[in-house]
Amino acid sequence: MKTDELARLEKRLGYTFKDRSRLELALTHRSCGSRNNERLEFLGDSIVNFVIAEALFEQFPEAREGQLSRLRARMVRGVTLAEIGREFVLSDCLRLGSGELKSGGFRRESILADAVEAIIGAIYLDAGMEVCRERIRSWFTDRLAGLSATDNQNKDPKTRLQEFLQSRQNPLPKYQVTHIEGDAHDQVFTVICELESPELNAEGKGSSRRGAEQQAARFALEKLGVESA
């Protein structure tokens, strides 16, 4: 991996490694062989969960355990970590095996999220907990600021739709992929959300099946009048 690429990444991360081999390892996917980022990912996953839990505990002193757990799950879920990975432009620096390269793995949500966790683990080993905590909080500042312990919008559309239907003892929605277009590394999924009672369909599109399902659920909520368009 080119030194200047790593230097640019360190600038985006806001941290310069004492031992850059740790960063290189954090960016190495298991498709490259046995020396990969899985152990660092394991470590980083635990750290980010703790740091975000701590931040939420401080930010919402009146929130109940269940509220804090939901907020933390939203902050540390794969889609959020992958968003952070895209902000760091990790796709330019990932080390992938030939198979993953051909299939567009450098854009895959799970690979980006795992790499972010591995980088967190690498920073912890390189600089300790205080520096690692400061970096994580910096990366999550805007996302944490936008949270509300009582705001229903903290729940994703699929969860809100499910809870709406359950509260009325209606059948749960069914999601069906109706179309996939584009190259393997740049696909667009089309999903239909089908409701039995009340009877309606809503279509969503996204770069992943999950994203398309979320959009379809959001449109279904709008049709039900639960949320405004």
Q: Which residues are catalytic?
A: 45, 117
Helix (H/G/I), strand (E/B), else coil: 91: helix
Name the token pair of 186.
Answer: 């740049």
Sign of torsion, CA 28 29 34 40? Answer: positive
Residue 112, burial from CB neighbour count under 10 angstroms (0-12, 13-18, 19+) = buried
Sheet holding 200-206, edge to edge: 174-181, 188-195, 200-206
Helix (H/G/I), strand (E/B), else coil: 228: coil
- Residue 194: phi, psi to the nearest 5? -110, 125
Name the token pair of 102.
Answer: 């051909």
- Buried b / exposed e across 71-86, counting CB within 10 Å, b at 16+? bbebbbebbbbbebbe
DSSP percent split of the chain into helix, strand, coil, nearest 5: 60, 10, 25
DSSP 191-205: EEEEETTTTEEEEEE
